[in-house]
Amino acid sequence: MRKPSPGMRPRRDSCGCSARSRAIGRRSRTLAEARRPLHVVHFVYRFSIGGLENVIVQLINRLPAEHYRHTLVSLTTIDDFRQRVARPDVEFIALDKPEGHAIPLYRRIYGLLRRLRPDVLHTCNLAALEVTPLAWLARVPRRVHAEHGWDAHDPHGRNVRYRRLRRVYRPFVSHYVTVSRDLDDYLEQAVGVPADRRSLIANGVDTDLFVPAQEPRAAVPGCPFTPGRHWLLGTVGRLQTVKNQPALARAFVELLRMHPQAAERARLVFVGDGPLAAEIDDILVRAGVRDLAWLAGARSDVPEVLRMLDCFVLPSLTEGTSCTLQEAMACGLPIVATAVGGTPEVVADGMTGTLVPAQDDAAMARALAAYLGDVALAQRHGRAARVEAQQHHALSAMVRRYDAVFSGRPA
């Protein structure tokens, strides 16, 4: 190769730039891109009160602001739950999808992704998974899909059509996140996702916000019962099929049938709204115990609600990792829960709570009676639940692992 003579000028392109200048420019752009915050687009079916939505709020609020910026897109609607997002720079986009398939929205979604130019697309559950091929076409570099629990129409992951759909979309997903061992096993065995493309990241709880009550406990506004005088058992969550709150209503009726004297103290609290409210109400009315229950609807003061309870119940047909279960444990409550999904990974039967079979109303009633009749047992399990939440379900660990997944590092 001929060396340039001292008087020879560096070769320049049509713009008058030398090769060295171009190399420096490329390095400068690379460094600038490395320093700029990663743009994450969170894509969900609906943004309303719920466990996966709560995880997204926690990620937006707690991932370092200097390293991340966020956009939230809902296929359908976004409600007042958005107010829990503390960052003022988050863009919220509701696509208002009508009933039926999202195919008519594909062109709009593709254009939206081209406009937003995210570094990471974060989709949640099956309803949002169909967006991943559009993100691949739109050249979104990293596409992370999280499975938070089973669909209401497929509570145990046995639906053949849903398995096939997940296999079809698998090539377009860069990395998967699951919140429980059974979901992680499902992706491996039923969908064929290799170990290096999936991470099990259990949901986390803010143990500084969710803390045990100080005595004397106070009732939240609107509650017709008195903590301390009444023994309050309750649940928190959207009133929908997979959460199976009517089972708790039936177990409460069974508790009062087995122990009629319990009607003097036992009171039932439901927090959340949804399509099962009428069924719950009907069960209680027909049993003549409607005045012993409070259907509070959706509330924003969940920590205060939990702190007035004596026992938390999770009657689900299936679960990933329940956020409200972890919150109740952090508040020092003994737990009665169905042994489904990821719940046995969170609740140690006989230590932090009592696990019962799903749809076994009598077993749930017996578990409730045990805590009602033995204050020392309830307190011991509640203290152990608080320790478990602090040691194994800290929010900081969850956020740290999502940080690694979004940035492409090992989680």
pLDDT tens per residue, range 100-152: 889 999 999 999 999 999 999 999 999 999 999 999 999 999 999 999 988 76
Quickly state the pLDDT bin for 21 (edges 50, 70, 90): low
Non-local (6+) Cβ contacts of 140 within 8 A are 41, 113, 118, 119, 120, 121
Mean pLDDT for the stretch of residues 236-244 = 93
Domain extent listing, the chain: 36-204+395-407, 231-392
Non-local (6+) Cβ contacts of 224 within 8 A are 294
Mean pLDDT for the stretch of residues 140-167 = 89
pLDDT higher than threshold 50 for residue 15: no
Contact predicate 90/118, CB 8 Å: no
Mean pLDDT for the stretch of residues 229-251 = 96
- Tokens (6 digits) for 347: 């609740």
Q: Contacts from 209-217 at CB under 8 Å and sequence distance 24+?
A: 209/303, 210/303, 210/306, 210/327, 210/328, 210/330, 210/331, 210/389, 211/303, 211/307, 211/330, 211/331, 211/332, 212/307, 212/331, 212/332, 212/382, 212/386, 213/307, 213/308, 213/331, 213/332, 217/307, 217/308
Q: Do domains 36-204+395-407 and 231-392 have the same CATH topology?
A: yes
Mean pLDDT for the stretch of residues 174-188 = 96
**Strand pairing class (266-271; 335-338):** unpaired
**Given this model, what pLDDT does residue 34 score?**
56
What are the tens digits of pLDDT across the range 60-109?
999 999 999 999 999 999 999 999 999 999 999 999 999 888 999 999 99
Quickly state the pLDDT bin for 154 (edges 50, 70, 90): confident
**Given this model, what pLDDT does residue 150 score?**
80
Contact predicate 289/255, CB 8 Å: no
Mean pLDDT for the stretch of residues 206-222 = 95
Quickly state the pLDDT bin for 269 (edges 50, 70, 90): very high
Mean pLDDT for the stretch of residues 13-33 = 50
pLDDT higher than threshold 90 for residue 279: yes
- Mean pLDDT of the residues in the chain: 92
Contact predicate 319/149, CB 8 Å: yes
Domain covering 231-392: architecture: 3-Layer(aba) Sandwich (3.40)
**Given this model, what pLDDT does residue 26 score?**
52
Portion of the chain with pLDDT greater than 90, in percent: 84
Tell me how crowded residue 356 is: count the other CB atoms within 10 A of its CB. 24
Mean pLDDT for the stretch of residues 155-167 = 90
Of the candidates 241, 254, 246, 243, the one whose C-alpha atom is nearest the C-alpha of residue 364 is: 254
Of the candidates 175, 173, 174, 179, the one whose C-alpha atom is nearest the C-alpha of residue 200 is: 179
3-state percent breakdown (helix, strand, coil) of the chain, nearest 5: 45, 20, 35
36-204+395-407 maps to CATH 2.30.30.180: no
pTM to 2 decimals? 0.82
CA distances, 204 to each of 36, 235, 346, 375 (Å): 27, 18, 11, 28
Per the model's pLDDT, the better-predicted residue between 18 and 124 turns out to be 124
Mean pLDDT for the stretch of residues 280-299 = 97
**Given this model, what pLDDT does residue 29 score?**
43
Q: Please tell me the number of Cα atoms within 13 Å of 383 on its side-chain side.
A: 5
**Given this model, what pLDDT does residue 19 score?**
57
Nearest-angstrom CA–CA distance, 379 and 233: 14
